[in-house]
Amino acid sequence: MFYPPKRILMGPGPSDVDPLVLKAMAAPLIGHLDPAFLNLMDNIQQLLRKLFETNNRLTLPISATGSAGMEAAFVNLIEPGDSVTVCVNGVFGERMSDIVVRSGGTLSRVETSWGKGPDVDAIRESLLLNHPKILAVVHAETSTGVLTHLSKIRELLNEFPETLLLVDCVTSLGGHSVGVDQYQVDFAYGGTQKCLSCPPGLAPITVSDRALEAIHSRKRKVQSWYLDLSMVENYWGDNRTYHHTAPISMNYALYESLRIIHEEGLEQRWNRHHKNHLAFVAGIEAMGLEMLVKSRDRLWSLNTVKIPDGISDGIVRAKLLERFGIEIGGGLGPLKDKIWRVGLMGTSSQKKNVLLFLNALEEILTEEGLVLEKNAGITAAERIYV
């Protein structure tokens, strides 16, 4: 048996999983066509709709991790030659671009620098030029900590009613409002291992009726058999036609994590993520460190801190892990060695984690030669909780 070391997961995901969810996963297996499992599937779909804030019938978990949710979105919506505009301001916009090309789409990229939100005027220009079938944005860019304001994207898209809106919610779902119906999102996907605090392995998706129509009226088959929603929907819908064997235990876990989420309440959960984020930022700034992203565009679930001059990313993260059992993430691409990515997602978004982290970081940075006012970070964070 593998006995994992005890960690506090404050990286870009997975986040800490509630013991009840772990317990749910340890239940004996039943078949994927067992009446009891079919009933569980219905319940999962209902709770997912509530989580996505939507009435979309086609709402279900894809049987693979979040990136497969991304791939499912594009391969189902794109037919060869379809024009797609992708807003790129981090790793996941880059990944979207890659998948668009692999899916035979004609790609237009609207880039902003990593750490900034998308530029609405630049998007408008691209839409005017390309009249794309799809506009794709990353709601929560896990590589930079930037939140895209969907209200502004929706407002813009009202000028382009033909364009479908595709949104990556992997790191926001369950931590921020995603407002799928409110912002008329046509295809949204998430992952289980972020603010849902369920192990990685499933990608919840939701598809609007008009996106589903686009899928149903395709001329060519979807290039992926595994992700072809016209077949997947028949297993999750009334027909219960066998497609592939659903990951049974992962669905037990997803159900339990959704139950816990709705027991807490979505609004309360978002507020908790917001408050812990504010305390975290107050602490970081009181220590004299800087956040990468400007206040208005910050994710609550993934916090990016600039690494001070002269401090080694690797040494600090290794000490956090070895001495405190705390996992955080490093920067990717152009932000490698420049930022830390600190997740406060789901179960991991807790006052005690914020305080422990600030304390640990102060201790390590002091060791590494920074001169810091003792307890300034913790004191500032605690003020937020009063």
Binders of a copy of itself in range 327-346 (CB under 8 A): 327, 332
Sign of CA dihedral 232, 259, 191, 19: negative
Nearer to a copy of itself, 147 or 320 (CB): 320
DSSP for 270-333, please give it. HHHHHHHHHHHHHHHHHTT--BSS-GGGB-SSEEEEEPPTT--HHHHHHHHHHHH-EE-EE--G
For the segment 198-257, give every residue that binds a copy of itself (CB under 8 A).
199-201, 221-226, 242-250, 252-253, 255-256
Q: Is the CB of residue 16 less than 8 Å from the CB of residue 336?
A: no
Nearer to a copy of itself, 163 or 192 (CB): 192
Among 9, 84, 127, 281, binds a copy of itself (CB under 8 A): 9
Question: CA-to-CA distance for 33 and 164, rounded, in angstroms?
Answer: 34
DSSP for 163-229, please give it. SEEEEE-TTTBTTB---TTTTT-SEEE--SSSTT-S-SS-EEEEE-HHHHHHHHT-SS--S-STT-H
Using the rule CB under 8 A, give the single segment among 64-72, 128-136, 302-310, 370-378 that binds a copy of itself.
64-72
Nearer to a copy of itself, 247 or 308 (CB): 247
For the segment 91-120, give every residue that binds a copy of itself (CB under 8 A).
95, 98-99, 101-103
What residues have CB less than 8 Å from 316, skipping those under 6 apart?
307, 340, 361, 364, 365, 368
140 lies in the site for a copy of itself, by CB under 8 A:
no
Q: How far is the CB of 100 from a copy of itself (least distance, A)?
A: 10
Q: How far is the CB of 99 from a copy of itself (least distance, A)?
A: 5
Side by side, the strands of the sheet bearing 83-88 are 58-62, 203-207, 187-189, 164-168, 134-138, 83-88, 106-111
For the segment 251-290, give every residue that binds a copy of itself (CB under 8 A).
252-253, 255-256, 259
Q: How far is the CB of 323 from a copy of itself (least distance, A)?
A: 14
71 lies in the site for a copy of itself, by CB under 8 A:
yes
For the segment 15-34, give every residue that binds a copy of itself (CB under 8 A).
15-17, 20, 22-32, 34
Among 13, 61, 118, 179, binds a copy of itself (CB under 8 A): 13
Query: What's at 329, amino acid-wise?
Result: G
For the segment 339-378, give every residue that binds a copy of itself (CB under 8 A).
none
Q: How far is the CB of 332 from a copy of itself (least distance, A)?
A: 8
- Judge residue 342's burial from the number of C-beta atoms within 10 Å of its C-beta, 0-12 exposed, 13-18 middle, 19 or more buried: buried
Using the rule CB under 8 A, give the single segment among 49-57, 192-200, 204-212, 303-311 that binds a copy of itself.
192-200
Q: Is the CB of residue 191 less than 8 Å from the CB of residue 203?
A: yes
Question: CA-to-CA distance for 107 and 99, rounded, in angstroms?
Answer: 10
For the segment 292-331, give every residue that binds a copy of itself (CB under 8 A).
321, 327
Nearer to a copy of itself, 70 or 281 (CB): 70
Nearer to a copy of itself, 56 or 197 (CB): 197
Q: Torsions phi, psi of 323, nearest 5?
A: -90, -35
Among 50, 53, 67, 154, binds a copy of itself (CB under 8 A): 67
